[in-house]
Chains A and B, each alone.
Chain A
Amino acid sequence: MSAFSGPPEDRAAIRELLETYADAASRIDKAQWLDCWAPDAEWITSHAQVRGHDELGRTWDDLFTDMDAMIFFAMPGAIQVAGDTATARCHVREIARIGGKVMKFAARYDDDLVRHDGRWRFARRTYVMNIAE
């Protein structure tokens, strides 16, 4: 199967969702970030595994207790659309100031997506670290 498959308009919309997520993270915009997730979405990282907007919101608050600046770049490596669900692989570069110290991460998100109320949102994001600096 090709790394990118399905209707071009859905692939473009999912690309824009990945960019909206990156924009929200880079501007520390919690509402926009939460809006990228389906209501019962799951976020799996080495620090936490949470589900639903309430838990996602609390995890965001915890992260940004010590983090006061972040930039977030995202590059889709694969998007496969099948009707109202999709899978994607997204490579990310994060630079964050945490507790006064600048840290850099290069990682991958393995994503499940769902068309919710007519637009694409994340159903599950799984974070896989590649290089931490």
Chain B
Amino acid sequence: MPFTGPLEDRLAIRELYGTYADASWRGDRELWLSTFAADGRWSSHLFDATGHDALAATWDGLWKDWASVAFLGEIGAMAIDGDMAPPAPTPGRWYRPKRAQCSSFAAITPMRSQSWAANGSSRTAPTQ
């Protein structure tokens, strides 16, 4: 899947990933939640949460044992339907599904043990 669609939307989506990463690095739960649509879904091999209540509960569960997080995402592809572009692109405020693939790196320091790192996971952009 290549990068397709209006440049302005692609920049806005890059910035959404940046905001998501920034919120993760700084442990900013509210900012992180705001990057998901109301019915946004976050799934991995460890959990599958849909909607802000479930997302927040998953965040709380993870951060119970985390002292700090480093998160980087490299966006590998974006496909945007030009007819569905929002009037004012704002991170976390999309009006139609847009698909993107992002490879991420995360280094996490647990509260009471050695740091560890996980590489190569991927996720689908939160959509609305």
Q: How far is the CB of A23 from chain B (nearest CB, A)?
A: 14
A131 touching B107, Cβ below 8 Å: yes
Contact of A3 among B8, B11, B73, B91 (CB under 8 A): B91
List of A residues within 8 angstroms of B74 by Cβ: 73
A2 touching B91, Cβ below 8 Å: yes
The yes or no answer to B109 lying at the interface (CB within 8 A) is yes
Given known contacts A8-B8, A15-B14, A131-B115, A3 and B22 CB-to-CB distance under 8 angstroms? yes
Chain B stretch 88-128: residues in CB contact (< 8 A) with chain A: 90-91, 105, 107, 109, 115, 117
A78–B21 CA distance with the chains assembled, in angstroms = 10
Instruction: Mark interface residues in A59-87 (1 if CB within 8 Å of B CB, else 0).
Output: 00000000000000101111100000000
Please tell me the size bucket of the interface on B. Answer: 20 to 34
A75 touching B109, Cβ below 8 Å: no
The yes or no answer to A124 lying at the interface (CB within 8 A) is no
Please tell me the size bucket of the interface on A. Answer: 20 to 34
A12–B8 CA distance with the chains assembled, in angstroms = 10
The yes or no answer to B39 lying at the interface (CB within 8 A) is no
Given known contacts A3-B15, A4-B91, A75-B72, A91 and B21 CB-to-CB distance under 8 angstroms? yes
The yes or no answer to A11 lying at the interface (CB within 8 A) is yes
16 contacts between A and B (CB under 8 A): A2-B91, A3-B18, A3-B91, A4-B18, A73-B72, A75-B17, A75-B21, A77-B26, A91-B25, A91-B70, A93-B107, A104-B107, A106-B70, A131-B115, A133-B107, A133-B115
